[in-house]
Structure 1
């Protein structure tokens, strides 16, 4: 019987477990929505124990599917996770000391502003490829060490462990035997030198982080230990941050390949090869993946709110009942009537990097209604993607021949067509859109020796539908100019 691969895709708003065959076909899946906690304005938290329980429950449900029939055919497990989200726990018990601080959280904005001197900014950019921003893990961890009574002293005594969600899940899966992460997740902490591929003492001192907290950094495919929680010993052989996992799932293995994921946020990643490329346009230089000790790099643009804007329309303001309603509503009007929605609910990411920006709906008239606002929310995703692609071009990257898309939003045909129109680029939707989970499975398969190399994985990629640009240039540029005018009015320095 053929081997199967179990993937855990622990995201910001849900936890999913999927089983794939080695051809990349989904065999079974299970998913649970993850509760979000907003204790103060700008704060976003998760309960690590709920994250863990949902991971267990979805894995067990997927393994129990008739098409899988238990663990007998499971060759390995791969893990993909929401990046930057920060967990601090006790080594002895595995119990978290506090809620997980989610990547969207802005509580350390003032701390980041104080740290972001020209010298510090240059140090951080040169070593990590990142910017000093609350988005990343370092200031979240430092905040926890200060906020939890006795945490700093316990950390220095070696009693505590830090990790992003991947490390926390791995610790629980291996029952405390393995404290490790992978190079792609380590690269998002502000503490990891992406050139030397090592934790950096100078950065640890800058952010006041004890080295005793840190996990071991490993390749994305390889030995991450064994779990016995599902009835028999199963090796864990793949791990990556969600966007890097999606890059693998989209088979973007050559310099110039670009993918964009539309989930809670939106993340455009362009493979740049084995030499890191510094951005002059406020994009991030990051690890794409590390295999057999060889690192491939990427340029990335991060948008904090994409699908979260649709969730806001549904849950906070009640303009829609279901996320799927948005496509029909957008089609009912020829345009937004000049309405723009800037979803800066947790600040703005690349290329603006303004943690104090706030969301706004602009251009409202008496004729504006639910349809125009819903359409404006969808359009904002495409405008933000254009911001990132234009920044990549300004950095010298060639215009992409095509943009491969994935994530929960890409089933919306209207949105994909508007994206192609706004970028003037062909948009390609694959047959399997759960590419984050698929990438985790592929990495696990590589680590378990089920694939000879990346070429074998790339051969599995299949196109489901392509969208070609149809909008004329004059209209495209007029709409985009309106977007820029709207964004300028939401920035924290705006008057």
Structure 2
């Protein structure tokens, strides 16, 4: 009998789709393939993806991953389950009779719903963006799926017609993929899980069900802290979300979460928009040449600011420039920006939870940047721990699939989990230096606030532009 294998399909970033196969006994990564997914930007602040291209990338990844298993003389029949991890808020609507998408997927970064959000907030008592937070754990924001769905219903004729004739299916990326992979229009299963549902702004995180009142209302770097079986409501701009629920009768575990809209994307911006680097891997070398931003601060609020500010009107700024500033300083400031945003979220978590975090565990593609990992430890003033195998998000999806009822090829009992080797980065600057740099960052953030608004602006002559 061959090894029990688990296939994981991951859509962790807006622009890529990898698949991985893990050994259920050792957690060893056996095969991996990645396909780039194009993004389109029809208007300023709009971000879309083609649902058919997303689906085709899944087929391509599975095919190539299985081919690589064959090259290793491993029979694909040993794959016992498929796990899916995805962009949670990205929103799709499709026709259940034809199986065709009715519009492009609206990506979580998209800002087209800002006026919708402002209108909804203005209708709430006290004009509070936190009006629904007691049920959803979320502020009213462009980030979440409900306002994207509202926009689709109001602005896309095909969607509005399909809703009226009960042909419309709504879902996040996981729902679209699972529906297609289980038969599509010929009996496909339309499902999601509580973690994705909790990011729609239509789901009650206490009852673990869709909320009738919320449904009538119509409305890149993520840091999570497990708070156990009781939800902790944030007073410092964080989300209260569902971390996991592993089984029909198992309890839901909750988490505090902070979301940074732009993390790895800032590196792509330096490469694709500014031409400062030719490849993403160059940024570590370029920033390392100077070892400091020399007072230059970069707030990459391309899509507004997410946690802990929830300020969609903010826009990106670079400040503190001097005659001395060059592209190496900008590269260093870009890496620092990721670390400063993480620090803001971590500070909020420590205040909400009451127990300071003693170390930060990280994963994802950016963890291969050793300079970034060291900067993160320096700015947080706590150790940063990186697993030697960076695909831990995909591994988690594979483990959950392998532990599912009826599969049972992976035990999640603590004593049965294989140890994963790690690399540890210790803070190397004094606390005073770290706090000084962080204070300057906070000053830069304030300069980025309230840049865009949908309200009419006077031109100073008594007329409105």
Q: TM-score, normalised by structure 1?
A: 0.86
* Conserved? CA contact 2:130–2:138, under 8 Å: no
Alignment RMSD (CA, Å): 1.6
* Conserved? CA contact 1:84–1:136, under 8 Å: yes
Alignment of 1:383 onto 2:334: no
- Structure 2 equivalent of residue 21 of structure 1: 23
Alignment of 1:485 onto 2:443: yes
- Structure 2 equivalent of residue 442 of structure 1: 399
Consecutive unaligned residues of structure 2, counting only runs of 5 or more, are 454-465
In terms of mean alpha carbon deviation, does 312-321 or 394-403 score higher?
A: 394-403
* Conserved? CA contact 1:85–1:101, under 8 Å: yes
1:352 to 301, 309, 314: 309
Q: d(CA) in 1 for partners of 2:59 and 2:386?
A: 30
Consecutive unaligned residues of structure 1, counting only runs of 5 or more, are 209-264
Q: d(CA) in 2 for partners of 1:24 and 1:474?
A: 41
Alignment of 1:455 onto 2:414: yes
Please give the residue correspondences for 1:11-90 in structure 2 after superposition, counting only pairs within 5 Å: 11=12, 12-22=14-24, 23-65=26-68, 66-67=71-72, 69-90=74-95
Using the TM superposition, give the Cα deviation of residue 454 of structure 1 relative to its aligned residue in structure 2, in angstroms: 4.0
- Structure 1 equivalent of residue 168 of structure 2: 160
- Structure 1 equivalent of residue 233 of structure 2: 278
* Conserved? CA contact 1:286–1:300, under 8 Å: yes
- Structure 1 equivalent of residue 115 of structure 2: 110
* Conserved? CA contact 2:31–2:65, under 8 Å: yes
Q: d(CA) in 2 for partners of 1:105 and 1:399?
A: 33
Please give the residue correspondences for 1:42-441 in structure 2 after superposition, counting only pairs within 5 Å: 42-65=45-68, 66-67=71-72, 69-117=74-122, 118-119=124-125, 121-176=129-184, 177-207=188-218, 265-292=220-247, 293=249, 294-441=251-398
Alignment coverage as a number of residue pairs: 438
In terms of mean alpha carbon deviation, does 142-151 or 196-205 score higher?
A: 142-151
* Conserved? CA contact 1:28–1:68, under 8 Å: no
In terms of mean alpha carbon deviation, does 443-452 or 31-40 score higher?
A: 443-452
Q: d(CA) in 2 for partners of 1:354 and 1:180?
A: 32
Q: d(CA) in 1 for partners of 2:345 and 2:142?
A: 20
**Aligned to 2:353, what secondary structure does the other structure show?**
coil
Q: d(CA) in 2 for partners of 1:150 and 1:414?
A: 49
Q: d(CA) in 2 for partners of 1:83 and 1:168?
A: 12
* Conserved? CA contact 1:301–1:350, under 8 Å: yes
Using the TM superposition, give the Cα deviation of residue 363 of structure 1 relative to its aligned residue in structure 2, in angstroms: 0.9
Q: d(CA) in 2 for partners of 1:87 and 1:461?
A: 38
Question: What whole-Å deviation, never above 9, does each CA across 1:359-389 have from its counterpart, x for those lacking one?
Answer: 0111111111100000000000000000000
Q: d(CA) in 1 for partners of 2:45 and 2:419?
A: 39
* Conserved? CA contact 1:13–1:35, under 8 Å: yes
Using the TM superposition, give the Cα deviation of residue 456 of structure 1 relative to its aligned residue in structure 2, in angstroms: 5.1
Q: d(CA) in 1 for partners of 2:344 and 2:434?
A: 13
**Aligned to 1:82, what secondary structure does the other structure show?**
coil
Question: What whole-Å deviation, never above 9, does each CA across 1:75-102 have from its counterpart, x for those lacking one?
Answer: 1101111110000000012110011100
Using the TM superposition, give the Cα deviation of residue 494 of structure 1 relative to its aligned residue in structure 2, in angstroms: 9.8
Tell me which structure has the larger Cα radius of gyration: 2
* Conserved? CA contact 1:18–1:27, under 8 Å: yes
Q: d(CA) in 2 for partners of 1:470 and 1:269?
A: 25
Question: What whole-Å deviation, never above 9, does each CA across 1:35-64 have from its counterpart, x for those lacking one?
Answer: 111111110000101000001101110011
User: Aligned in 2, Cα 1:379/1:68: closer, same or farther, shift over 3 Å?
Assistant: farther
Which has the larger share of strand? 1
Q: TM-score, normalised by structure 2?
A: 0.92
Higher relative contact order (CA 8 A, sep 6+): 1
